[in-house]
Copies of this chain bind each other. A is one copy, B any other.
Protein backbone atom coordinates (compact mmCIF):
# COMPACT_ATOMS: atom_id res chain seq x y z
CA UNK A 1 0.00 0.00 0.00
CA UNK A 2 1.39 3.37 -1.01
CA UNK A 3 0.47 6.81 0.25
CA UNK A 4 -0.50 8.97 -2.73
CA UNK A 5 -0.84 12.74 -2.31
CA UNK A 6 -2.87 14.46 -5.02
CA UNK A 7 -3.03 18.17 -5.81
CA UNK A 8 -6.38 19.82 -6.61
CA UNK A 9 -6.12 22.62 -9.17
CA UNK A 10 -5.26 21.40 -12.70
CA UNK A 11 -5.03 17.82 -11.38
CA UNK A 12 -8.51 16.91 -10.14
CA UNK A 13 -10.19 20.33 -10.58
CA UNK A 14 -10.20 22.31 -13.83
CA UNK A 15 -9.33 25.69 -12.29
CA UNK A 16 -7.73 26.94 -15.50
CA UNK A 17 -10.85 26.18 -17.55
CA UNK A 18 -12.97 28.22 -15.14
CA UNK A 19 -10.40 31.03 -15.00
CA UNK A 20 -10.37 31.28 -18.81
CA UNK A 21 -14.16 31.24 -18.93
CA UNK A 22 -14.40 34.13 -16.46
CA UNK A 23 -11.53 36.04 -18.08
CA UNK A 24 -13.04 35.75 -21.55
CA UNK A 25 -16.46 36.84 -20.25
CA UNK A 26 -14.99 39.84 -18.38
CA UNK A 27 -12.80 41.12 -21.21
CA UNK A 28 -14.68 39.81 -24.27
CA UNK A 29 -11.61 37.71 -25.10
CA UNK A 30 -11.21 34.23 -26.62
CA UNK A 31 -8.11 32.87 -24.84
CA UNK A 32 -7.93 29.06 -24.91
CA UNK A 33 -5.73 26.48 -23.20
CA UNK A 34 -3.89 25.89 -26.50
CA UNK A 35 -2.44 29.41 -26.32
CA UNK A 36 -0.87 28.74 -22.91
CA UNK A 37 1.91 26.38 -23.95
CA UNK A 38 4.54 27.06 -21.26
CA UNK A 39 2.70 30.05 -19.81
CA UNK A 40 0.26 30.99 -17.10
CA UNK A 41 -2.70 33.14 -18.11
CA UNK A 42 -1.13 36.13 -16.31
CA UNK A 43 1.92 35.91 -18.59
CA UNK A 44 0.08 36.44 -21.87
CA UNK A 45 -2.52 39.10 -21.05
CA UNK A 46 -2.25 42.90 -21.17
CA UNK A 47 -0.68 44.17 -17.94
CA UNK A 48 -3.70 46.41 -17.25
CA UNK A 49 -5.90 43.27 -16.99
CA UNK A 50 -3.66 41.46 -14.52
CA UNK A 51 -5.10 42.58 -11.20
CA UNK A 52 -8.72 41.96 -12.26
CA UNK A 53 -7.68 38.57 -13.63
CA UNK A 54 -5.98 37.63 -10.36
CA UNK A 55 -9.01 38.81 -8.38
CA UNK A 56 -11.23 36.30 -10.23
CA UNK A 57 -9.44 33.44 -8.47
CA UNK A 58 -9.62 35.10 -5.06
CA UNK A 59 -13.41 35.41 -5.06
CA UNK A 60 -15.16 33.22 -2.47
CA UNK A 61 -16.99 31.04 -4.98
CA UNK A 62 -14.35 30.53 -7.69
CA UNK A 63 -13.45 27.05 -6.42
CA UNK A 64 -17.10 26.02 -5.97
CA UNK A 65 -17.75 25.87 -9.70
CA UNK A 66 -14.84 23.89 -11.08
CA UNK A 67 -15.32 20.93 -13.40
CA UNK A 68 -13.74 17.65 -12.35
CA UNK A 69 -10.75 16.66 -14.49
CA UNK A 70 -11.62 13.72 -16.76
CA UNK A 71 -11.04 10.35 -15.10
CA UNK A 72 -10.02 11.79 -11.70
CA UNK A 73 -13.00 10.35 -9.84
CA UNK A 74 -12.88 6.87 -11.37
CA UNK A 75 -9.12 6.44 -11.02
CA UNK A 76 -8.89 7.84 -7.49
CA UNK A 77 -11.79 5.66 -6.40
CA UNK A 78 -9.92 2.66 -7.75
CA UNK A 79 -6.58 3.71 -6.25
CA UNK A 80 -8.16 4.36 -2.86
CA UNK A 81 -9.03 0.65 -2.60
CA UNK A 82 -5.37 -0.41 -2.48
CA UNK A 83 -3.63 2.79 -1.43
CA UNK A 84 -4.02 5.66 0.96
CA UNK A 85 -5.06 8.73 -1.04
CA UNK A 86 -4.72 12.26 0.35
CA UNK A 87 -5.77 15.48 -1.37
CA UNK A 88 -3.02 18.02 -0.72
CA UNK A 89 -3.80 21.50 -1.99
CA UNK A 90 -1.88 24.75 -1.49
CA UNK A 91 -5.06 26.43 -0.26
CA UNK A 92 -3.00 28.78 1.95
CA UNK A 93 -2.10 30.65 -1.26
CA UNK A 94 -5.79 31.56 -1.63
CA UNK A 95 -7.18 31.85 1.93
CA UNK A 96 -10.65 32.74 0.61
CA UNK A 97 -10.87 29.28 -0.92
CA UNK A 98 -11.14 27.06 2.18
CA UNK A 99 -14.91 26.65 2.35
CA UNK A 100 -15.44 26.27 -1.40
CA UNK A 101 -12.59 23.75 -1.72
CA UNK A 102 -13.92 21.68 1.18
CA UNK A 103 -17.47 21.66 -0.22
CA UNK A 104 -16.22 20.81 -3.73
CA UNK A 105 -14.23 17.84 -2.41
CA UNK A 106 -17.17 16.60 -0.35
CA UNK A 107 -19.43 16.89 -3.40
CA UNK A 108 -17.21 15.25 -6.01
CA UNK A 109 -15.03 12.87 -3.98
CA UNK A 110 -17.55 11.33 -1.63
CA UNK A 111 -15.47 8.18 -1.30
CA UNK A 112 -12.60 10.06 0.39
CA UNK A 113 -12.66 10.87 4.09
CA UNK A 114 -12.25 14.57 4.96
CA UNK A 115 -9.55 13.32 7.34
CA UNK A 116 -7.53 12.80 4.11
CA UNK A 117 -7.86 16.43 2.95
CA UNK A 118 -4.84 18.66 3.54
CA UNK A 119 -4.92 22.44 3.04
CA UNK A 120 -1.30 23.53 3.12
CA UNK A 121 1.21 25.88 1.57
CA UNK A 122 4.66 24.33 1.25
CA UNK A 123 4.27 20.66 0.34
CA UNK A 124 7.53 19.22 1.66
CA UNK A 125 5.60 18.86 4.94
CA UNK A 126 3.69 16.04 3.20
CA UNK A 127 4.80 12.48 4.04
CA UNK A 128 3.75 10.44 1.00
CA UNK A 129 5.29 8.00 -1.43
CA UNK A 130 3.94 9.91 -4.45
CA UNK A 131 2.86 13.48 -5.08
CA UNK A 132 0.80 14.07 -8.22
CA UNK A 133 1.04 17.80 -8.90
CA UNK A 134 1.20 20.25 -11.82
CA UNK A 135 3.65 22.54 -10.00
CA UNK A 136 7.14 21.05 -10.15
CA UNK A 137 8.48 23.41 -7.47
CA UNK A 138 6.66 21.30 -4.87
CA UNK A 139 8.88 18.31 -5.79
CA UNK A 140 12.17 19.99 -4.88
CA UNK A 141 12.08 19.29 -1.13
CA UNK A 142 9.47 16.51 -1.26
CA UNK A 143 11.00 13.20 -0.15
CA UNK A 144 8.77 10.91 -2.21
CA UNK A 145 8.39 10.57 -5.97
CA UNK A 146 6.90 13.50 -7.85
CA UNK A 147 4.61 12.87 -10.81
CA UNK A 148 4.19 16.01 -12.89
CA UNK A 149 0.59 16.25 -14.06
CA UNK A 150 0.64 17.73 -17.54
CA UNK A 151 -0.75 21.28 -17.72
CA UNK A 152 -0.32 24.08 -20.25
CA UNK A 153 1.93 26.14 -17.93
CA UNK A 154 4.37 23.26 -17.26
CA UNK A 155 4.88 22.02 -20.84
CA UNK A 156 8.52 23.09 -20.87
CA UNK A 157 9.39 21.71 -17.45
CA UNK A 158 11.78 18.77 -17.51
CA UNK A 159 13.42 16.57 -14.90
CA UNK A 160 10.28 14.87 -13.59
CA UNK A 161 8.15 11.97 -14.72
CA UNK A 162 5.27 13.60 -16.63
CA UNK A 163 1.79 12.05 -16.61
CA UNK A 164 -0.57 13.20 -19.37
CA UNK A 165 -3.89 12.38 -17.73
CA UNK A 166 -5.68 10.14 -15.21
CA UNK A 167 -5.75 7.23 -17.64
CA UNK A 168 -1.96 7.18 -17.60
CA UNK A 169 -1.89 7.32 -13.78
CA UNK A 170 -4.28 4.37 -13.73
CA UNK A 171 -1.93 2.41 -15.97
CA UNK A 172 1.17 3.30 -13.96
CA UNK A 173 -0.24 2.08 -10.66
CA UNK A 174 -2.02 -0.92 -12.22
CA UNK A 175 1.23 -2.19 -13.69
CA UNK A 176 3.08 -1.63 -10.44
CA UNK A 177 5.89 -0.18 -12.52
CA UNK A 178 9.03 1.14 -11.01
CA UNK A 179 8.35 4.78 -11.78
CA UNK A 180 11.28 6.48 -13.41
CA UNK A 181 11.67 10.05 -14.60
Contacts and interface: CB of A to CB of B under 8 A. Distances in A.
B122 A125 contact: no
Contacts of A127: 124-127, 143
Copies in the complex: 2
Interface residues of A, number: 28
A32 interface: no
A119 interface: yes
A158 to B, nearest CB: 25
A118 B125 contact: yes
Interface in A79-103: 86, 88, 90-93, 95, 98-99, 102
A5 interface: yes
Nearest to A95: B102
A19 to B, nearest CB: 22
Main secondary structure on chain A at its contact with chain B?
Answer: mixed
A66 interface: no
A114 B102 CA distance: 18
A125 to B, nearest CB: 5
B125 A5 contact: yes
A49 interface: no
A113 interface: yes
A125 B6 CA distance: 12
A121 B114 contact: yes
Top 5 closest pairs, chain A to chain B, by CB = A115-B121, A98-B98, A127-B127, A119-B119, A92-B114
10 contacts: A86-B125, A92-B102, A93-B115, A98-B119, A99-B99, A114-B121, A118-B119, A120-B120, A125-B127, A127-B127
Interface of A: 3, 5, 86, 88, 90-93, 95, 98-99, 102, 113-122, 124-128, 143
